[in-house]
């Protein structure tokens, strides 16, 4: 029997093996005219299997490129579009540069840590506003990651550590109520879930 494990890999899995085999059959048709007609007919079938808005100017080009890929870039027909470049398609994308810096308090995020270090660059009044803003942001982040209540003093001590000795963080500050913060987090998560569900429903 002919098992999948003994077959070659599918070049474009969503089209299946029968369509991929038919592309190989087109390649052995005796005349270029026959091969061209068969290729155009197959493109119509591919369009049905891969439905997209037909007014998309790149739609037929995409189907053509996929046909050539299925043919291993070797198909002697009248070209509908220029042949896709195999080297360009197989070229690996460049690595995305990620920062290798270490963080003192990873659960607060890079932005909070960087802003904490800049507190010293502001005047006294601006520092007070920034400290309160950052402390409340840190409290929200803490609750997102830890799912537990947290004392204000814990957040303020952490902020002092991030800001450094040049800044004095008032340990008597009163931050946002834990329940209020937790409710806001829950509301945001519910809104995000609803948006995701709407997107899924649209795709169906």
162-176 confidence digits (pLDDT tens): 999 999 999 888 888
**Per-residue pLDDT tens over the stretch 30-42:** 999 999 999 999 9
**Per-residue pLDDT tens over the stretch 84-109:** 888 877 777 777 666 555 667 778 88
Q: How far apart are CA 166 and CA 182, in angstroms?
A: 32
Q: How far apart are CA 131 and CA 159, in angstroms?
A: 8
**Cβ neighbours, 10 Å, residue 140:** 18
Q: What is the mean pLDDT of the chain?
A: 83
For the question of whether the overall pTM of this predicted structure is more than 0.75, the answer is no
Q: How far apart are CA 127 and CA 133, in angstroms?
A: 10
How far is the CA of 86 from the CAs of 71, 73, 143, 173, 194, in angstroms? 12, 7, 49, 62, 41
């Amino acid at each position: 029997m002919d098992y999948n494990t003994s077959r070659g890999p599918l070049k474009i899995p969503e089209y299946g093996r029968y369509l991929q085999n038919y592309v190989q059959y087109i390649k052995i048709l005796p005349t270029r005219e026959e091969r061209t007609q068969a290729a155009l007919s197959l493109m119509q079938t591919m369009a049905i299997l891969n439905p997209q808005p037909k007014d998309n100017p790149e739609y037929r080009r995409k189907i053509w490129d996929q046909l050539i890929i299925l043919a291993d870039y070797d198909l002697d027909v009248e070209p509908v579009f220029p042949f896709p470049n195999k080297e360009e398609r197989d070229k690996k994308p460049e690595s995305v540069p990620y920062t290798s810096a270490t963080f003192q308090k990873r659960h607060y995020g890079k932005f909070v840590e960087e802003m904490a270090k800049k507190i010293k660059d502001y005047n006294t009044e601006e520092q007070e506003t920034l400290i309160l803003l950052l402390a409340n942001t840190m409290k929200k982040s803490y609750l997102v990651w830890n799912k537990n209540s947290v004392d204000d003093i814990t957040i303020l001590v952490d902020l002092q550590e991030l800001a450094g000795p040049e800044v004095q963080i008032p340990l008597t500050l009163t931050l946002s109520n834990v329940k209020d913060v937790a409710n806001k987090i829950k509301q945001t998560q519910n809104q995000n879930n609803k948006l995701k569900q709407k997107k899924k429903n649209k795709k169906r």
